[in-house]
Structure 1
Amino acid sequence: MSSLGPLKASSLYFTPLPPSHVVQPGKETHGRYMLTIPWNRVSGWGQPKIAARQDLTFDPLAGVLQYAVTCFEGMKCYKTDKGDLRLFRPNKNFDRLKRSAARLGLPHDWDNDELLELFAKLVALEAPIVPDTDGSSLYLRPTLLETSEGFGIKEDAYAAEALLYVATTLNLGQGLYPSSDGEGKGIKLDACKEYIRAWPGGTGSYKLGANYGTVNIAKKPGYAMSLWLHGQEDFISEAGGMNVWIIKQAADGFLEFVTMGLENGIVLPGVTRESIIELITDHGEGKKDFPLDGMPKKVRVVQRDIPMSEIIESLADGTMKGMFGCGTGVVVVTVGGIQYQGKQHTIPSNPLIKLLRDTVTGIQRGKVDEGRGWSFKVPEWNVEGKEGQDEERVVV
């Protein structure tokens, strides 16, 4: 699928907040601005606009409403001690959004550099509200959805009209941040057998809106998230919306960081997951030292299925050395316990989980240089423009 008009940051229209702008009650933690970019099959990408956060309207038969034709990304903007704004590996999120969009028949042909320029301008406008404390951030939710009528079986799978927009909010996942700080801080998971999040050949590896609608209904009181299971062996996959790892002592003396592979399409290829794999693998293979001190040399990453029976057995024989989840929202969180088949299983804490969290957050905030250029510094954007509702074109 191709479009006539490319996505161009140079055509941005910016509308400053009017002097009369008032934050609506209940939305005090949301960003003030949003970015919108329309698309259609005839002319391609339309004009990007940054203006005050506002409601969206759709036709009652729009594909997003009738068939959940929507995908999204989770990204964060961090403020450093010097006041700089940082994004963590944004092109990874843009590539994953393209992959999800293609799965739904939505446009997926933009230039990442053009989109990043628009993102940078949006977050630069929100610089005054981006927090700078440890564990805090401005969360960005780029969302792509079908706005054209999607009722019934269409001639082909592709949308006629779509909208890409970015809204922001503060501190998603901050409440779970202390879970890696030490003994007894870990979150509790309920190993869920009543609901199935994803299956081989399905859409579990894509970040589709429909994949996350069952998360809350399945979660049981007293548990932070559901631990999703699949197959007759009760293999673990994700917990809530995050990738899951176990730390095991191998017979050859290596410490293994084990997580489910991507080959069967059940789990999301997380950006945090990929980053942890690269950091540990390069360290274990002697290619590049782990950014912070404390990671053993004899470590390796293993990607394979993990049945619940293995977790229970490794707890009994002492080879289980910890368990954690990772993702944009939570960064890295310790799993302290699992409920499975009516029994509670306590997972030992491991200081390496906090080391991972501190390393990733240090990179994200520009405090730790991992030598790979993962932290993108957002350029300042000081807009001198008239106040009011009239749109003003910004030459970039």
Structure 2
Amino acid sequence: MANHTDKISIETAASTKINTVDFSNLDFGRVFTDHMFVCDYNDGKWENPKIMPYQAMTFEPSARVFHYGQAVFEGMKAYKDDDGKVFLFRPKQNFDRINKSSGRLAMPAFPEDYFFEGLEALLKLDNDWIKPGVGNSLYLRPFVIATEPAISASPANMYRFMIICSPAKSYYNSAVRVLIADHYSRSANGGVGAAKAAGNYAAQFYPTSLAQKKGFQQVVWTDASTHTFLEEAGTMNVFFRVNDTLITAPTSDRILDGVTRKSIIQLAEDLGITCDVRQVTVEEIKNAAKDGSLKEIFGAGTAAVISPISAFEHQDELFEISGVGAEDSYAKLFKQTLLNIQHNLSDDKHGWRHEVK
């Protein structure tokens, strides 16, 4: 059945897959809802935004995304409270960032009205897939790819913007062990590290697989020039607690400006916790681990929210972190505070919740 909002055409699925899904046993990012949002860029403009049943798509083998990697994405979540109200968390940040990422890859900006109207129409249509309860969410993946069938090495003239949705529970169920990089790099000065470019993640897979063979789940990335400054943890921003001070690296053209990261920095201020945004060296954290002042390390990102780190290794030196899981840990405090805001269980004094009406 087809109908229209002011700008967006909607074709609903003939039937739903929801009854085949075990929501208590979800494998992250493998189950998708009944519908998706699609909009194409042709002749210098975005046109024909539509919602349609989730389905396979056909592209020419010469589509530029396959050859030159013009692809960017975002990670967002929708939450449902016990009254059935649906909320997004700081969605304007994600909208601004996907356009910043697109600009860095010479891709056109997406219109704000299409983004929010398409997203909200999609969430209303697939509302039943958003389960209430802390820890439950609907993960949203907006992304843009170059679709023009041409293999000359230049920016494309045709693109597709899409949003697909996947029900999610907690991403990491336990603390992770990490390896601090001393050879491979995630990004470099002047590069695309601050963009959510698809290729950034592909480039992480090989060094991460080497770390996993050694018994670690993730890599903590260091600066490409000297490998002395700590920057990100896997696909997340990273925080260090030394005594009662929180430390995280400043954003740059190497480090993603994470929405969860900036929310934690603000929450730390709200809670009276000192948060130093500055460069932090590998040696500083190793020394803090040796003298007992290193209390916690945790990653922060949309999928995991907060991911505690229980141990790290650097150049064959292994350090266990004793404070993981403690009731007074900052990781637990920030995660619970964020989840309470996201699920409409506490005040939202910064206006971060965006209700889907």
Provide TM-score, normalisation by structure 1: 0.80
Aligned to 2:258: 270
Summarize the Cα distance change of 1:28–1:212 in structure 2 as closer, same or farther, 3 Å threshold: closer
What is the RMSD of the two structures over their aligned residues, measured on CA atoms?
2.3
Tell me, in whole angstroms, the C-alpha distance in 2 between the residues paired with 1:175 and 1:275: 19
Give runs of aligned pairs for residues 48-59 of structure 1, distance below 5 A: 48-59=49-60
**SS of the residue 2:123 aligns to:** helix
Give runs of aligned pairs for residues 1-396 of structure 1, distance below 5 A: 10-19=6-15, 29-42=31-44, 44-111=45-112, 113-154=113-154, 158-171=155-168, 174-176=170-172, 178-179=173-174, 186-219=175-208, 220-221=211-212, 222-230=215-223, 231-249=225-243, 255-263=244-252, 265-281=253-269, 283=270, 290=271, 297=272, 299-349=273-323, 351-379=329-357
Summarize the Cα distance change of 1:19–1:310 in structure 2 as closer, same or farther, 3 Å threshold: closer
Residue 62 (structure 1) shift: 1.5
**SS of the residue 1:326 aligns to:** strand
Residue 103 (structure 1) shift: 0.8
Q: Which has the larger radius of gyration?
A: 1
Give the number of equivalent residue pairs. Answer: 339
Provide TM-score, normalisation by structure 2: 0.88
Summarize the Cα distance change of 1:259–1:139 in structure 2 as closer, same or farther, 3 Å threshold: same
Residue 308 (structure 1) shift: 1.3
Is residue 78–residue 88 contact of structure 2 (8 Å, CA) maintained in 1? yes
Summarize the Cα distance change of 1:130–1:151 in structure 2 as closer, same or farther, 3 Å threshold: same
Unaligned residue ranges in structure 2 (runs of 5+): 22-26
Percent pairwise identity: 29
Deviations 1:65-102 (A, max 9, x none): 10110000000111112121111010100000010011
**SS of the residue 2:274 aligns to:** strand
Residue 109 (structure 1) shift: 4.8
Stretches of 4+ moved more than 4 A in 1? Answer: 19-28
Is residue 98–residue 108 contact of structure 1 (8 Å, CA) maintained in 2? yes
Deviations 1:19-66 (A, max 9, x none): 497999999721111000111234x11111111101122222212110
Is residue 171–residue 303 contact of structure 2 (8 Å, CA) maintained in 1? no
Unaligned residue ranges in structure 1 (runs of 5+): 1-7, 180-185, 250-254, 284-289, 291-296, 380-396
Deviations 1:116-151 (A, max 9, x none): 121011012111122223222111100011111342
